[in-house]
């Protein structure tokens, strides 16, 4: 028994669903037909009883009209009337008080099939015989000159034929129900299991081909389409997480290689012969210290970049008025760079609100202001200007530095891209700041653009959608 249970538990789900759904449909069909059979059978039997009672009433009324003439000698005169009331497969019989037949009128029915029986009260019953069912009604007869029993017997051949026909239809219908329920169960099981099979096939493709595969489905709004949708969303998040990790490792290995090689070269130089030369020792230590600082900055920027890949949902971020945050950030930069002039004009922004986390706005401003300071060797002036434009808050940061060549503008937001690698290394740049700023601005449904002319300066423009209440 346990082996059978284990074997059944290992059968495919589609087969189980087919069997159980077919069995359920078959049982429901049989139950319905059985109830219908009982209802029809009882109704037909009741109709036969009603007809028999009508005939019995007519016969009794006729006999009662005979009055004193109803006696054993005159009963034969009623034969003609009784013959008219006797249909095929029926019999009407009158018994005396001893149970002996006095008058028998039958139509295609043998009187020997029913034993005469005296009745003391009206009674109707159905009996079974080898060749069919009989409906028998008995009622006492009483008059001044005669007492006995009236027997009416019907062979229910038409009734039996209808019952047999109904039973045959039920059996045939049961067979058809098995076929239909089996086919319907198969279709139902396939409809239910196909999405699961699709997901399974997609998972195999993911195992063999990578994370780019997705489940193809029709969004019908049911539970199975919701399952496929959730699976695809889960795979999207998993793929983004995997690509984020891969990109982080590639970026880190790419940028860490150079400073580590420089430090390794200086240490090898000192190990060979430079440690006895104070000038070489001082130069190597200074270079190594500079590269260590650069490594520290690079690691911090890589961590910031990694965090920017997993930002909160925009619906979870409350709207803020950015004026105070912008002004505080500019004041902080002014404090760090006293030799620079920061011209900040934010009155046009007013009380406009945008949806962004304050620390992210500060991070974006620090990246852009720090770049403006780094590459402004000639005129040490930075202009920050805020305004409203077509339901957007516009914030511009302009410097008057060395500018960016036009050929490099399309790539400045790429990770680790530097316009002049040597000058960027001298100024401590890793080519990650603008990539972080771009990712943060885009996450909050904003836009960031750069306009620059070589030798004249650079203008960075950011656009953030103003929240609905402020439009």
Q: Can you read off the two tokens belonging to residue 241?
A: 């997480």
In this predicted structure, what is the pLDDT of residue 346? 93
In this predicted structure, what is the pLDDT of residue 340? 92
In the chain, % of residues over pLDDT 90? 17
Report how far apart the first and last C-alpha atoms of the chain are (Å, whole number).
74
Tens-digit pLDDT profile for residues 248-275? 676 667 667 767 777 777 778 777 766 6
Q: Which of 183-192, 230-239, 331-340 has the highest mean predicted lDDT (pLDDT)?
A: 331-340
Residue with tokens 């305004």: 387
Within a 13 Å sphere around the CA of 258, how many CA atoms are in the beta-carbon half?
14
Tens-digit pLDDT profile for residues 169-205? 877 877 787 787 777 777 777 777 777 777 788 888 8
Q: Say if residue 55's pLDDT is above 80.
A: yes
Phi and psi at residue 142, to the nearest 5°: -135, 130
Q: Say if residue 322's pLDDT is above 50.
A: yes
- Domains in the chain (CATH in brackets) are 2-164 (3.30.450), 223-308 (1.10.287.130), 316-470 (3.30.565.10)
The dihedral through the CA atoms of 343, 348, 351, 354 has a sign that is negative
Q: Give the pLDDT mean for 117-128.
A: 87
- pLDDT band at 353; cut points 50, 70, 90: very high
β-bridge partners, 133: 128
DSSP state of 236: H
In this predicted structure, what is the pLDDT of residue 154? 87
The Cα–Cα gap between 60 and 359 comes to 108
Residues 14-51 as b/e (b if ≥16 CB within 10 A, e otherwise) read beebbbebbeebbeebeeebeeeeeeeeeebbeebeee
Of the candidates 381, 395, 390, the residue with the CA atom closest to the CA atom of residue 323 = 395
Whether 43 and 49 have beta carbons less than 8 Å apart is answered as: no
List, edge to edge, every strand of the sheet that includes 123-129: 101-107, 90-96, 147-155, 132-142, 123-129
Q: Give the pLDDT mean for 69-75.
A: 70
Whether 152 and 55 have beta carbons less than 8 Å apart is answered as: yes
The mean of the pLDDT values for the chain is 81
Whether 403 and 457 have beta carbons less than 8 Å apart is answered as: yes
Lowest mean pLDDT among 97-111, 422-436, 447-461: 422-436
The set of residues, in sequence order, having a beta carbon less than 8 Å from that of 156 and lying 6+ positions away, is 48, 126, 132, 133, 134, 135
Q: Give the pLDDT mean for 387-402.
A: 92
In this predicted structure, what is the pLDDT of residue 422? 47
Residue with tokens 């620390």: 359
In this predicted structure, what is the pLDDT of residue 13? 66
H/E element, 44: helix 13-66
In this predicted structure, what is the pLDDT of residue 424? 47
Alpha-carbon separation of residue 378 from 16, 374, 384, 403, 458 (angstroms): 81, 11, 18, 11, 13
- pLDDT band at 319; cut points 50, 70, 90: very high
């Amino acid at each position: 028994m346990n082996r059978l249970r284990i074997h059944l538990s290992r059968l495919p789900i589609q087969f189980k669903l087919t069997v159980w759904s077919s069995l359920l449909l078959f049982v429901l069909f049989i139950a319905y037909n059985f109830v219908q059979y009982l209802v029809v059978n009882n109704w037909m039997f009741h109709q036969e009883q009603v007809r028999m009672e009508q005939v019995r009433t007519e016969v009794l009324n006729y006999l009662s009209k005979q009055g004193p003439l109803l006696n054993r000698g005159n009963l034969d005169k009623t034969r003609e009337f009784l013959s008219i009331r006797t249909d095929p497969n029926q019999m009407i019989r009158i018994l005396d008080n001893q149970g002996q037949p006095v008058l028998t009128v039958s139509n295609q029915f043998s009187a020997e099939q029913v034993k005469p029986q005296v009745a003391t009260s009206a009674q109707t019953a159905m009996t079974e015989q080898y060749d069919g069912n009989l409906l028998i009604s008995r009622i006492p007869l009483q008059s001044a000159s005669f007492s006995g029993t009236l027997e009416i017997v019907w062979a229910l051949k038409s009734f039996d034929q209808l019952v047999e026909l109904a039973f045959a239809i039920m059996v045939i219908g049961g067979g058809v129900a098995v076929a239909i329920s089996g086919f319907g169960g198969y279709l139902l099981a396939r409809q239910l299991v196909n999405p699961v099979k699709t997901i399974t096939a997609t998972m195999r493709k993911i195992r063999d081909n990578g994370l780019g595969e997705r489940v193809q489905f029709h969004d019908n709004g049911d539970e199975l389409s919701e399952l496929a949708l959730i699976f695809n969303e889960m795979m999207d998040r998993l793929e983004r997480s995997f690509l984020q990790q891969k990109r982080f490792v590639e970026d880190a290995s790419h940028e860490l290689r150079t400073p580590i090689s420089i430090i390794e070269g200086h240490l090898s130089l000192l190990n060979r012969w430079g440690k006895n030369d104070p000038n070489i020792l001082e130069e190597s230590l200074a270079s190594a210290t500079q590269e260590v600082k650069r490594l520290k900055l690079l690691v911090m920027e890589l961590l910031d970049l990694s965090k920017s890949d997993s930002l909160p949902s925009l619906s979870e971020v409350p709207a803020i008025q950015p004026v105070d945050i912008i002004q505080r950030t500019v004041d902080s930069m002014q404090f760090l760079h006293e030799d620079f002039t920061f011209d900040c004009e934010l009155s046009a922004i007013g009380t406009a609100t945008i949806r962004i986390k304050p620390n992210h706005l500060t991070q974006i401003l620090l990246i852009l202001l720090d770049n403006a300071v780094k590459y402004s060797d000639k005129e040490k002036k930075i202009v920050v200007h805020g305004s409203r434009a077509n339901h957007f808050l516009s914030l511009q940061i302009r410097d008057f530095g060395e500018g960016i060549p036009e050929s490099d503008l399309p790539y400045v937001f790429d990770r680790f891209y530097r316009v002049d690698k040597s000058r960027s290394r001298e100024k401590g740049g890793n080519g990650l700041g603008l990539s972080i700023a771009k990712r943060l601005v885009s996450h909050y449904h904003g836009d960031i653009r750069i306009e620059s002319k070589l030798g004249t300066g650079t203008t960075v423009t950011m656009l953030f959608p103003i929240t609905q209440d402020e439009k």
